[in-house]
Amino acid sequence: MEVKRKILLNPGPATTTDSVKMAQVVSDICPREQEFAELVEFITEELTVFVGDPKDYVTVLFGGSGTAVVESMISSAVTGPLLVINNGAYGKRMCQIAEIYNLNYVEYKHSPVKELDLDHLKKYIMDSKLKFSHLAMVHHETTTGMLNDLEGVGKICQALGIELIVDGVSSYAAVPIDMKKMNISFLASTSNKNIQGMPGCGFVIAKKNSLDRLKDSKARNLYLSLYDQHSFFQQKKQLRFTPPVQTFYALKQAIIETKREGVEARYLRYSKSWQTLVKGLAELGLELLLPENCQGKLITTIIEPANDNYSFEKMHDYLYDKDITIYPGKLFEQNTFRVANIGAIDFRDIEIFLKELKSYLVSIGHIR
């Protein structure tokens, strides 16, 4: 069977390989069978290995999107005052979660287009009347493309005895992460971004010591309880509730392909696509929202051309007809759109996109 290839430049679900797509076509199976347990054990072990030693870290799987596992981490792990860094829509979402669960939290609001000021952050924490037990942050802010200094914040947390909770949904499996070195206690991601699998599976990678300490905390919810999900799997080698079975088969294949490429090489491939993109945009006279030094090189926010004939919807449809999907901007007074360069694509796909973007800009008389 042939599946038409499309170039997804939205920030996930990302373009997948045919082998990942086809891995979903398997005989029906009950996910409480031993055969399925072996698949899940492979997945949990290998997802951990990308960021930590399985002796000290463990992956907890859920059926659900990225937001589900971010909610699982915040609602399960936070046992004292929480500081949330908010420099974009996903930082804000963590605040919303803390609000809904009535947690004792403080929002550390920061400009979405400027690098975090770590000295200010450290002083802010030390001067606070609250003794924060946890700090939550987004590693790569998909809203803008900003890569936050995770290692720098991790050092502050280590110095001040604070547990670090990270939304790594859009950085995991592309930007190298070392949970131990970066002092991360909990890290969330999903099956459908840089790991290049299908949507439907979210996971939290936890430091075993930190996870075990939650044993006696009362769960704040049923489905998303991190400790309960973990201990059920440890005892039964089954997920508590029905998992997205076929997504798991695709995830296994996606993991094999990620291991084959290597996370660092994957980030180099993505970076090369990003360089191609940024060079091409400059040639078309388009400007970027962020300065180069804080770009994660995974998604780029582009300022819309000032031209009365321009419309995002029309540009989107023009490109969509050519099997290229782009993404609207988010959060800003400034009008922007976004182009991600993650997934099973490379710089040649970006070249195709740039060629079509140019012909759209010519068609509205913006350039010649």
Ligand X SMILES: *Cc1c(COP(=O)(O)O)cnc(C)c1O
Smallest gap from Cβ 93 to ligand X, in A, equals 7
Smallest gap from Cβ 141 to ligand X, in A, equals 6
- Residue closer to ligand X by CB (options 170, 341) is 170
Is residue 190 part of the contact set for ligand X (CB under 6 A)? yes
Smallest gap from Cβ 320 to ligand X, in A, equals 20
- Give the CA distances from residue 277 to residues 7, 200, 287, in Å, rounded to whole numbers and listed in that order: 14, 29, 12
Is residue 336 part of the contact set for ligand X (CB under 6 A)? no
Smallest gap from Cβ 69 to ligand X, in A, equals 8
- Residue closer to ligand X by CB (options 72, 210) is 72
Span from 15-23, 61-69, 113-121, 348-356 in contact with ligand X (CB under 6 A): 61-69
Is residue 167 part of the contact set for ligand X (CB under 6 A)? yes
- Give the CA distances from residue 291 to residues 134, 222, 294, 298, 300, in Å, rounded to whole numbers and listed in that order: 30, 43, 6, 14, 11
Smallest gap from Cβ 51 to ligand X, in A, equals 16
Asked if the bond preceding 11 is cis, omega within 30° of 0, the reply is: no
- The burial of 304, by beta-carbon neighbours within 10 Å (0-12 exposed, 13-18 middle, 19 or more buried), is given as middle
Among 282, 283, 275, 287, smallest CA distance to 337 is for 287
Q: How many residues bind ligand X (CB under 6 A)?
A: 13
- Residue closer to ligand X by CB (options 305, 329) is 329
Smallest gap from Cβ 230 to ligand X, in A, equals 21
Is residue 138 part of the contact set for ligand X (CB under 6 A)? yes
Q: In the stretch 270-289, what mask flags binding to ligand X with x, by CB under 6 A? A: --------------------
DSSP secondary structure string, 208-247? HHHHHGGGGSPPS-STT-HHHHHHHHHHHSS-SS---HHH
Is residue 59 part of the contact set for ligand X (CB under 6 A)? no
Q: In what order do the strands lie in the sheet with 327-328?
A: 299-303, 336-340, 327-328
- Residue closer to ligand X by CB (options 14, 354) is 14
Evaluated on CA atoms 250, 256, 262, 263, the torsion sign reads positive
Whole-angstrom distance, CA of residue 142 vs CA of residue 126: 29
Span from 38-46, 107-115, 166-174, 318-326 in contact with ligand X (CB under 6 A): 166-174
Is residue 90 part of the contact set for ligand X (CB under 6 A)? yes
- Residue closer to ligand X by CB (options 175, 354) is 175
- Residue closer to ligand X by CB (options 20, 342) is 342
Q: Return the beta strands (E) in the chain as ranges.
A: 7-8, 57-63, 82-86, 105-109, 134-138, 140-141, 146-147, 163-167, 184-190, 201-207, 299-303, 324-325, 327-328, 336-340
Is residue 329 part of the contact set for ligand X (CB under 6 A)? no
Chain contacts with ligand X (rule: CB under 6 A): 11-12, 65-67, 70, 90, 138, 142, 167, 169-170, 190
